[in-house]
Amino acid sequence: MTAQNNDQATQQFADLDYVPIGVFVVDANFTILFWNNTLEIWTGIYRDQLIGTSIGDHFTRIMRPQYTERLQDIFNGGAPVVFSSQLHQYIIPAPMPGGKFRIQHTTVIGIPDNTGENTLAMF
């Protein structure tokens, strides 16, 4: 993905910086297109370090087959996917003060990219 496309994705999802939940978006290659302000605060990792890179380079857990196989359905127009906190703990490690990790109930939905030609995964 080009820098221009990264900028367009950042603009497309800019309003999600104001929601009090962690949101990120990847394409079918698992390239990070958006990482919201809440995730920056929770993880201490800024979007400038992540945008345009593979999510698996930073968070290897998400590249396990139990996740990737279900996510492929999203990119093929399938129904939303849920990763419950009871079975999957967390997708993105987000420690709280004191060292415990945030409990994450993660829903992933498919959304069209800004061209309408490809499906992206929004977590």
Residues 6+ apart with CB under 8 A from 7: none
CB 91 within 8 A of CB 83: yes
pLDDT tens column, 34-77: 999 999 998 999 999 999 999 999 998 889 898 899 899 999 99
What's the predicted TM-score (pTM) here?
A: 0.85
DSSP assignment letter at 5 = H
CB 13 within 8 A of CB 25: yes
| 49's tokens | 């370090």
Partners of 32 in the β-ladder: 26
Query: From the CB of residue 24, how many other CB atoms can be counted at a distance below 10 Å?
Result: 24
pLDDT for the residue numbered 80: 96
Largest Cα–Cα separation, the chain: 44
Q: Lowest-pLDDT range, 56-70, 90-104, 105-119? A: 90-104
